[in-house]
Amino acid sequence: MPGRKTILSVILPALALAAPGFLIADKAAAQQTQSRLYEVTKSKKLRVCQYPLYYSISFRNPKTGQLEGIDADLAKELAKELEAELQIVETSFGTFIADLQANKCEIGMFGVGATLKRAQAVEFSKPYLVTNIYGVTRKDSKIKKWEDIDKKGITAAVSLGSYIETFMKGYLKNATVVPIAPPNTREAELVAGRVDIIMTDFPTAIKVTDEFDWATYLLPSEKLAITPYSYVVPQGDQIWLNYINLFVDTIKLDGRLMMYAKKHKLDPIVAP
C-alpha cells in the first residue's frame, strides 16, 4: 500500500499524549514510562513467539523452511508498521506463557485462544478470529459421525496445553484424550494410526482435509467451545497492549486481515 503512513508514525505521539480513559486504561498506565513499544522502536527488532506446527496459522513448510499462514503474514505486517526487523521465537501452547514472562518475545502471534484461565497470566488483544471445535479423522475410520467419538476404545488427540485439551478432557466421558507435545503432531499420530481422531479448530480442519485426500472432518450438532483468537502480550504494559489493539483494529479496517484470511481459507472465521 504505497504512500500509506505506518501506524507508528501516526500513533506513537498519541500514545504518550492521549486523554485519560481513551488510550490509557488507568492511572497506573498513565504514569507508565517504560514500554515494549519504546524498546522495539529503539532497538528496531520485534521478537514474535510463534508455534511452527500450526496449519494455516504459523506452519513451517518443510520444503522451504519458511513459516506460512495468516499469522506468519501478519507478523510481517506488524514488524513493518514498527519499522523493525522481525525475529521469530519458536514456542508451543504448553510453553508460550512462560516464554512471554521470561521476556523471550514481545508478543505471541499464533492463533492463541483467549481464555479466562490464560488471562490470569497474560494479556489478550482484541480478537481477530473466532472458531470452535472440529474433529478430523480418516475416511476409512470407524468414526462416521460426531456421536461415534465418545465411546470406549476411541483415542482422541489434542495439542498439549491447548484450550481444546482442557475442554475435551471435561467433554469426553468414555473416549481417551491423548495430549500430543512437539515435535510430535496430532496429524502424524493420526496418519500412523496411533489415534482415531484429532480434536482441533477450523484452521487445522480445513488445511488437513485440503492437503490429504484420506482426511475428513466432523462437526458437532452444536458449536462447542466457541473461542476468540487473539494476540497475547505480557501483563503490565498497557501502552504496548494499546498499540497491538490498534493494529488489530487497523488491519480489520484497511482489509489486510480479510486479505490474509482469504489467502489461507480462514475468511469464514474472521472476527467482526
Within this chain, do residues 73 and 198 fall inside the same structural domain, yes or no?
Answer: no
- The percentage of residues in the chain with a pLDDT greater than 90, rounded to a whole number, is 84
- Average pLDDT for residues 138-163, to the nearest whole number? 96
- pLDDT value at residue 33: 82
- For residue 246, the enclosing domain spans 7-130+228-269
Task: Tell me the per-residue pLDDT of 228-240, one tens digit each, with 9 for 90 and over.
Answer: 999 999 999 999 9
Instruction: Give the pLDDT band (50/70/90) at residue 8.
Output: low
The CATH code of the domain that includes 191 is 3.40.190.10
> Angle 7-17/238-253 helices, nearest 10 degrees?
140
How far, in Å, CA of 44 to CA of 173, rounded?
50
Within this chain, do residues 154 and 190 fall inside the same structural domain, yes or no?
Answer: yes
Distances (CA, A) of 187 to 15, 159, 208, 212: 44, 10, 8, 10
223 within a domain of the structure (yes/no): no
Please give the torsion angle defined by the CA atoms of residues 69, 71, 76 and 79, in that order, rounded to the nearest 10 degrees. Answer: -170
Task: Tell me the per-residue pLDDT of 156-196, one tens digit each, with 9 for 90 and over.
Answer: 999 999 999 999 999 999 999 999 999 899 999 999 999 99
The mean pLDDT value of the chain amounts to 91
Distances (CA, A) of 52 to 14, 92, 233: 35, 8, 18
Task: Tell me the per-residue pLDDT of 80-123, one tens digit each, with 9 for 90 and over.
Answer: 999 999 999 999 999 999 999 999 999 999 999 999 999 999 99
Within this chain, do residues 38 and 125 fall inside the same structural domain, yes or no?
Answer: yes
> Angle 70-81/256-263 helices, nearest 10 degrees?
150
